[in-house]
Amino acid sequence: MACESAARPALSWLLALSLLACAGAAWAAKPHQHGVATLQIAVDPGHVSVRLDIPLDNLLGFERAPRNDAERERAQAVVAQLRKGAELFRIDAAAGCTLQRTVLRSAELGLPDAAAAPGRSEHADLEADYEFSCRDSHKAGAVSLGLFDAFARLQRIEVQALTPRGQLRAVLQRPNSRVALAR
């Protein structure tokens, strides 16, 4: 995740997400912990952007490329689940959000846009970006997460959000899956 991307001309939601990423760099840079995912949410006029960073172990129970048919099948099922962004991130209906774009990155799973080659360490994460366009993004008072339902090994989600009202942090423990964006 490149902090300098904030200096490039960018759509404001992207800029917000980049700034958020830099602000939380120390937090995000710590070694990943199995059972824990980090989530960054940026609310901007007309958009809600979500970035999920999750250890592959939480998704698959291993952190390398799949080695046999059973593992490949498991990986495919996980990827299919991760593409259902509208189910994983249920934004307040009043905001009128629709999922526009999903980008999944994992070198181990052979997903495009992966920044690094696989096998550089014994740990591996999957990074996912979701971009929603919203009729009334200021009405996005909460996001209900489907992540605990989808991924049984996931226990905790560390959330940072940047909204027009300010920045907030929250830690969700299973089964609490609601992120309040308005205080």
Q: By the criterion CB under 5 A, which residues form the site for Zn ion?
A: 55, 57, 63, 123
Question: Which of residues 43 and 109 has its CB atom nearest to Zn ion in the complex?
Answer: 109
CB of 63 to Zn ion, least distance (A): 5
Kindly report each contact of residues 111-119 with a partner whose C-beta sits within 8 Å and lies 24 or more positions away, as own/partner.
Answer: 111/79, 118/64, 118/65, 119/64
The pair of three-digit structure tokens given for residue 162, joined into one six-digit string: 């940047």
DSSP 3-state of 168: strand
Question: Which of residues 34 and 83 has its CB atom nearest to Zn ion in the complex?
Answer: 34
CB of 151 to Zn ion, least distance (A): 14
Question: Which of residues 55 and 85 has its CB atom nearest to Zn ion in the complex?
Answer: 55
Number of H helices, E strands in the chain: 6, 9
Question: Which of residues 24 and 55 has its CB atom nearest to Zn ion in the complex?
Answer: 55
CB of 107 to Zn ion, least distance (A): 14
Q: Is the separation of the CB atoms in 32 and 123 below 8 Å?
A: yes
**Residue whose C-beta lies closest to Zn ion:** 123
Question: Which of residues 56 and 179 has its CB atom nearest to Zn ion in the complex?
Answer: 56
Using alpha carbons, select from 130, 137, 129, 134 the residue that is nearest to residue 164.
137
CB of 36 to Zn ion, least distance (A): 10
Q: b or e along 11-38 (b: 16 or more beta carbons within 10 Å of the residue's beta carbon)? A: eebbbbbbbbbbebeeebeeebeeebbb
CB of 114 to Zn ion, least distance (A): 16
Residue 23 phi/psi, 5-degree rounding, is -60, -35
CB of 124 to Zn ion, least distance (A): 7
Question: Which of residues 63 and 158 has its CB atom nearest to Zn ion in the complex?
Answer: 63
Instruction: Indicate if the alpha-carbon torsion angle 17, 23, 27, 28 is positive or negative.
Output: positive
